[in-house]
């Protein structure tokens, strides 16, 4: 059964983990690196549904590919100079 992610709903990190089917450490890494934006309430994080939807959108994937290719080109240029 697939649950629909509602744009204006608020999710806990455990709910995000279940929705994205990733580990707890992956959710923590996404939060720490600013890839997934959240608000801290007390000692816990709350994530808006629109942030989850933004994370899984094709535009984010394309941006990640573009960033990776730019980084790869810089690395190969530097190695080529050696």
Task: For residue range 14-54, list pLDDT tens digits in order.
Answer: 999 999 999 999 999 999 999 999 999 999 999 999 999 98
Residue 45 pLDDT: 95
What is the C-alpha to C-alpha distance for residues 33 and 29, in angstroms, rounded to an integer? 6
Compute CA distances 50 → 55, 58, 70, whole Å.
9, 14, 28
Residue 63 pLDDT: 79
Query: Can you list the pairs that 38-44 forms with residues at least 24 positions away whose Cβ atoms lie under 8 Å?
Result: 38/13, 44/12, 44/13
Domains of the chain, earliest start first: 10-81 (1.10.1660)
Residue 57 pLDDT: 83
Q: What's the pLDDT band for 2 if we cut at 50, 70, 90?
A: low
- List the structure tokens of 45: 């994080």
Q: What's the pLDDT band for 80 if we cut at 50, 70, 90?
A: confident
């Amino acid at each position: 059964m697939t649950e629909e992610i509602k744009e204006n709903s608020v999710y806990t990190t455990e709910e995000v983990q279940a929705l994205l089917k990733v580990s707890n450490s992956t959710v923590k890494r996404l939060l720490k690196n600013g890839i997934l934006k959240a608000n801290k309430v007390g000692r816990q994080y709350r994530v808006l549904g629109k942030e989850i939807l933004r994370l899984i959108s094709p535009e984010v994937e394309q941006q990640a590919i573009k960033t990776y290719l730019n980084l790869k080109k810089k690395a190969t240029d530097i190695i080529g100079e050696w």
